[in-house]
Amino acid sequence: MRLMPSRRTQPDEAEVGLVGVVRKDRRTKNLVKRLRPGDVAVIDHVDIDRVAAETLVECRPVAVVNAATSISGDYPHAGPMVLVEAGIPLLDAVGEDVFDFLREGDRVRIDPDGVVFHGERRIAEGEWLHPEDVRKRIDAAKDNLAGALEDFTLNTLSYIRRDRDLLLEGLQVPALATNLRDRHVLVVVRGHDYKKDLSILRGYIKEFRPVLIGVDGGADALLEAGLKPDVILGDMDSVTSEALTCGAEVVVHAYPDGRAPGKERVEALGITPHIFPGAGTSEDMAMLLAYEADCDLIVAVGSHASLVEFLDKKRPGMASTFLVRLKVGAKLVDAKGVNRLYRQGVRRTDLLLLVVSALVAMLAISLVSEPVRLVWQQTFELLKTFIYRIISFF
């Protein structure tokens, strides 16, 4: 078990400190693609959200060094607590200079006082966040919830006024070679607990064979689960090239005016993508794509729909999600949290029932079968004789 460094530890009490190879990126979702166990993750992430923290935990870095403030106080973000409770040391607010002075692949040492060294050179200094520190900051941030909710609501209403026609009437849905009509469509997003939910749905996938749509990194999630996506949709900023070249149809989510920054990357891989302009998030557009293609059912895994998730991700508004879910609601089944509702495996009560059933069956056979009854009688007599001899001996 890795021990969290303590700010109360004196330098002469420390043996070495934390040592690792630097992997740095200002976008956490890009960093985790190349982060390996034992590396030092250098990020620039104000208010670390839960999903970003969970992906960092999966990579098992020796430490996370954040140039920014992990908890600014405007909302009780869950990410920092996820990291420290998983035993990942979190060095907070070391400053922007860390990106200028450290290169990818540099080997650094972080001492117990929160000082980052490259060789003998002092690079940056921050504060180790411990569980008790994070709890205090989260409790303080809860006082700002009312203001955050009010700002978010006003922002969402402005988005609804601006984007309602584009989202609900003005979409140009691309014609796919993959047939979605009258079929189930599974839309996979890399959200909270997506792996567990996807694992629970294996039986459903095997039986119904839905069309598999991976939203950006959701395509990689499908491949990691041993499934091949039929369609990949997104702005292409967090999906790997391996996923893009797996043979799935690629749909680039573009801005409402038709600009598609992700198109160039896809074409560089020799793939001709479909372009799907719209004001919503990529997961919203995936649901609209399935709905407009007249699918039978949409099953969403890992999607972001709750107020908590939008505030945690610092998204400006959920207007598109609100409108899209109003439109596709009759066909939408949200599988988020299904792993907590139903878990595969054998329960203790089932095992007990199985054992009792076996004993009852054996007793019934003994009562109706003369040979078996004789065996039981002989066994009982032998046991009785054995016990009698032991008693006699003493």
Contact by Cβ (8 Å): 212, 225: no
Who has greater pLDDT, 170 or 264? 264
Each residue's pLDDT tens digit, 367-394 = 556 665 666 677 667 767 767 666 665 5
Half-sphere exposure of 166 (CA within 13 A, CB side): 20
Residue 15 has pLDDT above 50, yes or no: no
Who has greater pLDDT, 18 or 359? 18
| pLDDT (0 to 100) of residue 29 | 84
Each residue's pLDDT tens digit, 84-113 = 999 999 999 999 999 999 999 999 999 999
Contact by Cβ (8 Å): 316, 351: no
Taking the alpha carbons of 85, 89, 94, 99 in that order, is the dihedral positive or negative?
Answer: negative
Spatial CB neighbours of 142, under 8 Å, sequence gap ≥ 6: 76
Q: Which of 78, 118, 76, 75 is nearest to 94 (CA)?
A: 118
Half-sphere exposure of 274 (CA within 13 A, CB side): 19
Each residue's pLDDT tens digit, 260-309 = 989 999 999 999 999 999 877 899 899 999 999 999 999 999 887 666 66
- This prediction has a pTM of 0.65
Q: What is the phi/psi pair of residue 276, to 5°?
A: -130, 95
| pLDDT (0 to 100) of residue 187 | 96
% of the chain at pLDDT higher than 70: 76
How far apart CA 237 and CA 97 sit, in angstroms, is: 25
Residue 169 has pLDDT above 80, yes or no: no
Pick the CATH number of 11-129 from 1.10.760.10, 3.40.1550.10, 3.50.30.10, 3.40.50.620: 3.50.30.10
Least confident of 65-74, 116-125, 280-289, 355-364: 355-364
Residue 71 has pLDDT above 50, yes or no: yes
The pLDDT confidence band at residue 2, using thresholds 50, 70 and 90, is: very low
Helices 319-328 & 282-292, crossing angle to 10 degrees? 20
| pLDDT (0 to 100) of residue 320 | 75
CA angle in degrees (0–180, nearest 5) for 167-173-178: 135
% of the chain at pLDDT higher than 90: 50
| pLDDT (0 to 100) of residue 166 | 57
Residue 313 has pLDDT above 70, yes or no: no
The DSSP 8-state label assigned to residue 142 in this structure reads G
How far apart CA 83 and CA 237 sit, in angstroms, is: 24
Is 146-341 the same fold as 11-129?
A: no
Of 280-294, 343-357, 359-373, which one has max mean pLDDT? 280-294
Residue range 146-341, CATH number: 3.40.50
Strands of the 211-215 sheet, one edge to the other: 274-277, 249-254, 231-234, 211-215, 184-188, 297-301, 332-334
Query: Pairing state of beta strands 274-277 and 297-301?
Result: unpaired
Contact by Cβ (8 Å): 298, 185: yes
Q: Where are the domains of the chain?
A: 11-129, 146-341, 348-393
For the stretch 285-321, what's the b/e string if a residue is b when 16 or more beta carbons lie within 10 angstroms of its beta carbon?
bbbbbbbebebebbbbbbbbbeeebbbbbebebbbbb
| pLDDT (0 to 100) of residue 1 | 34
| pLDDT (0 to 100) of residue 9 | 37
| pLDDT (0 to 100) of residue 21 | 96
| pLDDT (0 to 100) of residue 86 | 94
Spatial CB neighbours of 63, under 8 Å, sequence gap ≥ 6: 18, 20, 40, 41, 88, 89, 90, 91, 110
Compute the chain's Rg from CA coordinates: 28
Who has greater pLDDT, 19 or 345? 19
Contact by Cβ (8 Å): 22, 108: yes
How high is the mean pLDDT of the chain?
82
For the stretch 178-203, what's the b/e string if a residue is b when 16 or more beta carbons lie within 10 angstroms of its beta carbon?
eebeebbbbbbbbbbbbbbbbebbee
Each residue's pLDDT tens digit, 200-220 = 899 999 999 999 999 999 999
| pLDDT (0 to 100) of residue 394 | 58
User: What's the whole-number mean pLDDT along residues 342-357?
Assistant: 57
The DSSP 8-state label assigned to residue 15 in this structure reads S
From the number of C-beta atoms within 10 Å of its C-beta (0-12, 13-18, 19+), residue 340 rates as exposed
User: What's the whole-number mean pLDDT along residues 113-122?
Assistant: 93
